[in-house]
Structure formats: C-alpha cells, structure tokens
Amino acid sequence: MSKAVYESKKGFSAAVVIAVVIGLIFILALAVPIAQDLVTSANLTGTSAVIANLIPLLLIVGTVILVTKMYN
C-alpha cells in the first residue's frame, strides 16, 4: 500500500461517521426491537428464557464494543 492510503485512514472522516450512525440506527432502532419481540413471542421458560432474554442486551453491548474499537 502506498503512503497516501495509510494517511487517509487517520482521523475521523465524514463517511465513516455517517456509516457508524446509520449502523447504530439499524441496530438500536430496528434489530433490538425485533429481537425483543421475537423473544417475548417465543413463550420460553426456564434457562432457555433467561438466555433468550439476553439477546437484545448482547446486541447493544456488541454495538458499543464495535463502535469503540473502530475509533481506538
């Protein structure tokens, strides 16, 4: 890779910030409510219900980790 390619990856670019915001909207406003609805409509009990109820939380935690890793 040329030096110009390495230099272009430094700092925050508008395209990356816009992509992250769009990704956050899709995950937090679309995927989490759908996952929550699927979990509640599954009528699970016991351990499987506990594990399934963690799915929306894990989506949120994974999103936060992904965003922080992108700018680190």
pLDDT at position 10: 61
- Domain contains 54: yes
pLDDT at position 20: 84
- Domain contains 61: yes
35-62 tens-digit pLDDT: 999 999 999 999 999 999 999 999 999 9
- Domain contains 4: no
Nearest partner of 17 among 69, 53, 72, 67, judged by Cα = 67
Long-range contacts of residues 30-33, Cβ cutoff 8 Å, at least 24 apart: 31/59, 32/56, 32/59, 32/60
How many domains does the structure of the chain reveal? Answer: 1
- Domain contains 34: yes
Q: Name the DSSP letter for residue 29.
A: I
Domain, as residue range, for 33: 13-70
